[in-house]
Amino acid sequence: MGKLYLVPTPIGNLEDITLRALRILKEVDLILAEDTRTSGKLLHHFQISTPMQSHHMHNEHKKLDHLIERLLDGEQMALISDAGTPGISDPGFLLTRACIENAIEVECLPGPTAFVPALVNSGMPSDRFVFEGFLPVKKGRQTRLQLLAEESRTLILYESPHKLLKTLTNIVAFFGAERQVAVCRELTKMYEETIRGTAAQVLEHYTKKPAKGEIVIVVAGKK
Ligand code: SAM
């Protein structure tokens, strides 16, 4: 019987790869990568020459049966995404579920992911939190925002830089201008920053200075 490893990869700083991640990526028979070009650079940097195959949201359904067959035949595989932990706003869930249904062992290694350092950097309560990933772009967005405005736990959102202003504007409108917000940008990278303040202050900051790079928004829960 084979085994599936879900292997987190750095979200910016290559020093964040773990020793075990490197060993597993060297030892498995096949690496399933969200983008073989992006992961090719990472693997080349660490001198890993394990065969690689693409596994992304557009082909993961189609390839599932074949991968399960190969795992049942005894192959060891590692799934990696472009950055961070597979399955966290990235492909991983479908294959993990299919492995479990087929009694194939699954192991997710601990490692880089953007939401944990963002939550801790925010200085907001981290004993109870809600990870929402990306908000719906159109359909269902208003309903989700209305629901989340009532949430008492700290809320974590992933966002792209060109939608940051829209989302901050929505937070002011649905959660109130005084709700505490932290925007964590470019975690682990050279221009890492966290801007903390009320929703109105953070919106004003990014209206004056448009954001670039990768972003996590942390919102305080309703008091
Ligand atoms: N699997 C990844 C993880 O474990 O965090 C998330 C992948 S998701 C497709 C990409 C989003 O994660 C970005 O749009 C951003 O919201 C967040 N993200 C990834 N890297 C980041 C970084 N270095 N700094 C801030 N946010 C980051």
What is the total count of domains within the chain? 2
What would the two tokens of residue 153 be?
């736990």
What crossing angle do the helices spanning 141-149 and 164-175 adopt, rounded to 10°?
50
* Spacing, Cα 185 to ligand 1 middle (Å): 10
pTM greater than 0.85 (yes/no): yes
Q: Please report which residue ranges of 73-114 form alpha helices under DSSP H.
A: 93-101
Per-residue pLDDT tens digits of the chain, which is 223 residues long: 899 999 999 999 999 999 999 999 999 999 999 999 999 999 999 999 999 999 988 888 888 999 999 999 999 999 999 999 999 999 999 999 999 999 999 999 999 999 999 999 999 999 999 999 999 999 999 999 999 999 999 999 999 999 999 999 999 999 999 999 999 999 999 999 999 999 999 999 999 999 999 999 999 999 9
CATH number at residue 150: 3.30.950.10
Q: Are residues 55 and 127 in the same domain?
A: no
Q: How many CB atoms lie within 10 A of CB 54?
A: 15
For ligand 1, atom 16, name the residue with the nearest CA.
158
Ligand 1 contact, 194 CB (< 6 A): no
Per DSSP, the three-state class of 160 is: coil
* CA of 47 relative to ligand 1 center, distance in Å: 25
Who contacts 37 (Cβ-Cβ below 8 Å, separation ≥6)?
none
Q: Give the range of the structural domain holding residue 51, as residue numbers without chain letter.
A: 3-108
Q: Confirm if 179 and 219 have CB atoms less than 8 A apart.
A: yes
CB of 214 closer than 6 angstroms to any ligand 1 atom: yes
Question: 61, 94 in Cβ contact below 8 A?
Answer: yes
